[in-house]
Chain A
Amino acid sequence: MSYIHVLNLEKRFVIREKRKKGALSREKKTVHALQNVSFDVERGELLGYIGPNGAGKSTTVKILSGILTPEGGEVTVGGRIPWKERKEHVRRIGVVFGQRTQLWWDVPIQDSYDLLKEIYRIPDADYRKRLGEMAEALQLTELLRTPLRQLSLGQKMRAELCGSLLHRPDLLFLDEPTIGLDAVSKLALRDFLKWENRQYGTTVLLTTHDMEDIVALCPRVMVLGHGRKLFDGTLGNLLSRYDTVRTVSVRYEETEARPVLPESVPVQRDGGSLVITYAPAEFPTAEMVTLLQKAGTIRELTVQSRNIDHLVADMYREMDL
């Protein structure tokens, strides 16, 4: 059986609505946070989990990490049912909540780690070795004596990550880990996750809105919307359906040069250059370039695919999310 096995997972929340004027009791509404979600994950996989806000991503993570009890379906992680054998289960996992700290606010992060050592019953020697290694990889060595509240957002996230990996979990959940981080911190975080995954075979399941995270880290991606699984496969496969348009930006030596193009291809003027949007499937790039060259001497030419966020937005729109 696979390391993580999820079959027909179901989670409902009952929401009590505001009492209407004159009514005595409040109406109840059932929200299906997850319906019939099934998937399997093998050890050592890096899996990205995407979907718009409210799709059920965090709910899945909370069920898999033993925080919530589902209404139906089967879940096992390493052969254990998370919410039934919570303590044994969480000993083997690490969780990072992007918006919720797990460390203590007013004390140096080293003190927080010392307490985590106690909580997870990590042997002394192992703890020292692991902390040294992690602090180095996450560039925290200089910061160990600094209270958490004085750290920047990026430093804080690195500190959180270190805290959640001290006990060498087999499985790491990351709930929006790069939220609010600057470019350098994001890149460092991604590099670290790749390293941890390669070095120790740690399985990583990550939810995010940042598609760059997925591109950089996750060979496999899962899309969730309205509590249902909509896609499971590689990002390339997912986007090939939506990634149909290219944009050419061209600048001529002669400012008045105008290429002659089919009417279906829109041309826009952007400063000194022309921006042309076309679908290579109907109008091959080679043909396009030939037409452009006929119009004059090209000084500069760039071909771009669309921003991945736009593609995802298109995808969500088409899936009616």
Chain B
Amino acid sequence: MNTIRLYLHSMRMLIRSQLQYPASFVMQTLAQLVMQGGEMMAVILLVNRFERLNQWSAGDLYFFFGLMSVTFYLTEIFGRGITGNFPFLIRTGQLDTFLVRPRGVLTQVLCSAADPRRITCVAVGIAALVLGCRMSAVQWSAAKVLLMAEAILCGCFLILGLFIIEGIFCIYSVKSVELVNALTYGGRSACEYPVDTFPGPLRILFTAVAPFALVLHQPGSVILGKPLFHWPEWTAFVSPLSGFAVFGITWLCFRRAMRFYRSSGS
């Protein structure tokens, strides 16, 4: 309980400190809007040209795009410490200051940064979700709302887990390893589209290794009424939990890796 309070307290403070530079904040927020708007344009162009992709209609594609955007950028707003700052903390030795406090290292890393500028990216995602739901005429029910919330929450943990992998490499190599970006940012860009549009190897990658398909696409497809892989609907409530599993595994690896932390400078 105390950890959650600490986290909320930190977030309040971090967001307040971002707002210390209002002009910069507004500019950067707008820049994010342009960036994510551009990504959305790509989907719009695709939909204009092809109308559908396999079994997915234009509305479905907007829906998947929105689902990924909301999940990914929520993670970046609230998990910035892991998604962005961790290599910096290692390289500068700033992590030392976390190690001398009686709290978990990851907890403190999460509490150390927030990125409220991404709020416009989330807004674009919500717009895409709303648009997608209307175009595909989604019939909402309590179960579907719950499923959506679960997918987004588990998706956040999945993305955090993938970024932790980068952190683990960072502990060993001090400098960040761009290779892992293939899973994180690559995963984001690819999995804005449902997984069955990809060839076999990528499908396996995004189902078994970085399970965006299980966490986002499976529940998403059930909400749209077109279950992916033709699995029964109830599995959509179970499969997102793989996001927690990824987070749990990488979290354990991270704890082990911290023993090799070498610090830096004086």
Contact = CB atoms under 8 A, between A and B. Distances in A.
B177 to A, nearest CB: 15
A66 interface: yes
Residue from A62, A93, A121 with most neighbouring chain B CB atoms (10 Å): A62
A97 B93 CA distance: 11
B103 A65 contact: no
A180 B13 CA distance: 29
B17 interface: yes
B262 interface: yes
A302 B14 CA distance: 59
Contact of B102 (A53, A90, A114, A115): A90
Given A67-B99, A119-B102, A120-B101, A100 B10 contact: no
Contacts of B259: 69, 83
B263 A67 contact: yes
Interface residues of A, number: 37
Nearest to A106: B17
A176 interface: yes
A104 interface: yes
B19 to A, nearest CB: 9
B20 A68 contact: no
Interface stretch (B1-9, B44-52, B183-191, B216-224): B1-9
Interface string B1-42: 010011001100110111010000000000000000000000
A65 B100 contact: yes
Interface in A96-143: 97, 99-102, 104-107, 111, 114-115, 118-121
A115 B108 CA distance: 11
Interface string B239-254: 0000000000000000
**Chain B interface mostly helix, strand, loop or mixed?**
helix
A106 B20 contact: yes
Contact of A175 (B10, B101, B266): B266
**Chain A interface mostly helix, strand, loop or mixed?**
mixed
A107 B16 contact: yes
Given A68-B262, A119-B6, A105 B17 contact: yes
A88 B102 contact: yes
Interface string B90-106: 00011011011111000
Contact of B263 (A57, A68, A106): A68
Contact of A100 (B6, B94, B103, B261): B94
Chain B interface bracket (under 10, 10 to 19, 20 to 34, 35 or more): 20 to 34
A86 interface: yes
A86 B9 contact: no
Given A106-B20, A147-B20, A111 B13 contact: yes
Given A107-B17, A111-B13, A118 B5 contact: yes
Contacts of A176: 266
Contacts of B16: 107, 111
B261 A121 contact: no
A68 B262 CA distance: 7
A60 to B, nearest CB: 12
A115 B10 contact: yes
A100 B97 contact: yes
Nearest to B8: A118
A306 interface: no
Contact of A68 (B103, B261, B265): B261
Contacts of A68: 261-263
A195 interface: no
A168 B184 CA distance: 42
Interface of B: 2, 5-6, 9-10, 13-14, 16-18, 20, 93-94, 96-97, 99-103, 108, 259, 261-263, 265-266
Interface of A: 13, 53, 57-58, 62, 65-69, 83, 86-88, 90-91, 93, 95, 97, 99-102, 104-107, 111, 114-115, 118-121, 147, 175-176
Given A68-B263, A95-B100, 8 more contacts: A53-B266, A90-B99, A106-B17, A107-B16, A107-B17, A107-B20, A111-B13, A118-B6
25 contacts: A13-B262, A57-B266, A67-B96, A67-B99, A86-B99, A88-B102, A91-B102, A95-B97, A97-B97, A100-B93, A100-B94, A106-B17, A106-B18, A106-B20, A107-B17, A111-B13, A111-B16, A114-B9, A115-B9, A118-B2, A118-B9, A119-B102, A119-B103, A120-B101, A120-B102
